[in-house]
Amino acid sequence: MGNHMSRNLVANGYNVKGYDLSAEARAAAAKNGVTPVNSVAELSKDVDFIVTCLPETRHIKEVLTMEGGVFASANPGTWVCDTSTIEPAGAQEFNALAKESGHTYLDTPMSGGVTGARDGTLTFMVGGTEAEFENSKKVLDGMGKNFFHCGGPGTGEIAKIANNLILGISMVGACEGMAIGEKLGIDPKVLQKILSVSTARNWCIDTYNPRPGVLEGVPAGNDYAGGFAVSLIKKDMLLAKKAAETVGADTTMIETSHEYYKHLEENNLGKKDFGYVFQYIMNNKKI
């Protein structure tokens, strides 16, 4: 995701520095015109915007608040647009800490997957004031197409975890439908075309179908590599469950769907794209 996003920023005329723990990722970014640096401190200095994208709330907190981190190293007035999927309460905390250190932190989680990152069509959900939302588009516009002001700090994350809990549930349903149809004897390509223009249509069917050989340019056609990892959708669904429990909301479908991703991760398939659920179901839940 980050490689595609930084490439699009460069292509849209931005001067981009990039840091990743992986030397391989830094080298790949350099080929796209990004200037690789060797630390968070070096990344944070003398820039207008910092775009972060990390797996969990604790990772963002570390990068922002550690010695040599963003808040300690960035020039006063620097903006942080965090595209991670994290706890809404964490985003609220970081927004307040940023103000104390003379910076601006916004939760700006994204949706659109690897294809959206590649094509520059990501959707960004922003939590902050209206003025902050408008200013954030100065950098988000280089990576995406759709921008929504969700409300105050943390509301971008609320929108994102709602989206991803629906996504995780929908993928299980799409996989079950595609698998059952194929086992009953219909050509999966024909089935996908029908579902794409019928009432079962959703992103997991018409854009990111999990059945190999049905669509081109999706992880299912690449041995489920390079997509949205099982471990990440599992994490996001747990975030949704935790948030739902704070307001007494029902989590039945979250819990049921989460079990599929949990079993895959337990079988060392956490790095596979979450569409791998299709293989799990086709093999009668045997790995």
Q: What is the CATH number of the domain that holds 231?
A: 1.10.1040.10
Catalytic residue among 45, 61, 99, 160: 160
- Whether residues 233 and 255 share a domain: the answer is yes
- Whether residues 116 and 257 share a domain: the answer is no
Q: Which residues pair with 206 in a beta bridge?
A: none
Binning pLDDT at 50, 70 and 90, where does residue 114 land? Answer: confident
**Does residue 62 belong to any structural domain of this protein?**
yes
Query: What's the confidence (pLDDT) of residue 221?
Result: 96
Query: What's the confidence (pLDDT) of residue 225?
Result: 95
Q: Which of 108, 134, 152 is the last residue of a domain?
A: 152
Over residues 23-46, the pLDDT tens digits come to 999 999 999 999 999 999 999 999
pTM of the model: 0.93
State CA 13 to chain mean position distance. 24
Percent of the chain with pLDDT over 90: 96
Over residues 116-131, the pLDDT tens digits come to 999 999 999 999 999 9
- Whether residues 123 and 237 share a domain: the answer is no
Q: Which of 152, 174, 198 is the last residue of a domain?
A: 152
CB-CB contact of 48 with 30 (8 Å): no
Q: Is the pLDDT of residue 113 over 90?
A: no
CB-CB contact of 147 with 140 (8 Å): yes
- Whether residues 272 and 134 share a domain: the answer is no
CATH number at residue 46: 3.40.50.720
Query: What's the confidence (pLDDT) of residue 16?
Result: 96
Q: What's the domain range around 251?
A: 158-282
- Whether residues 57 and 75 share a domain: the answer is yes
Over residues 201-248, the pLDDT tens digits come to 999 999 999 999 999 999 999 999 989 999 999 999 999 999 999 999
- Whether residues 148 and 163 share a domain: the answer is no
Query: What's the confidence (pLDDT) of residue 146?
Result: 97
CA distance 195 to 173: 12
Query: What's the confidence (pLDDT) of residue 285?
Result: 86
Decide if 160 is catalytic.
Answer: yes
Query: How many domains, the chain?
Result: 2
The residues, ordered by sequence, that sit 6+ positions from 139 with a Cβ below 8 Å of its Cβ are 9, 14, 48, 49, 51, 79, 81
Would the CA dihedral through 138, 139, 140, 143 be positive or negative? positive
What are the φ and ψ backbone dihedral angles of 160, each rounded to 5 degrees?
-70, -45
- Whether residues 192 and 138 share a domain: the answer is no
**Does residue 9 belong to any structural domain of this protein?**
yes
Q: What is the mean pLDDT of residues 190-196?
A: 98
Q: What is the mean pLDDT of residues 135-155?
A: 97
Summary mean pLDDT of the chain = 96
- Whether residues 17 and 88 share a domain: the answer is yes
Binning pLDDT at 50, 70 and 90, where does residue 60 land? Answer: very high
- Whether residues 130 and 198 share a domain: the answer is no
**Does residue 97 belong to any structural domain of this protein?**
yes
Q: Which of 133, 152, 171 is the last residue of a domain?
A: 152
**Does residue 268 belong to any structural domain of this protein?**
yes
- Whether residues 13 and 146 share a domain: the answer is yes
Query: What's the confidence (pLDDT) of residue 115?
Result: 85
CA distance 149 to 134: 9
**Does residue 287 belong to any structural domain of this protein?**
no
Q: Given its phi and psi angles, is residue 268 left (phi above 0), alpha (psi -120 to 50 degrees) or beta?
A: left
- Whether residues 125 and 178 share a domain: the answer is no
- Whether residues 135 and 38 share a domain: the answer is yes
Closest CA to 27 of 3, 51, 52, 56: 3
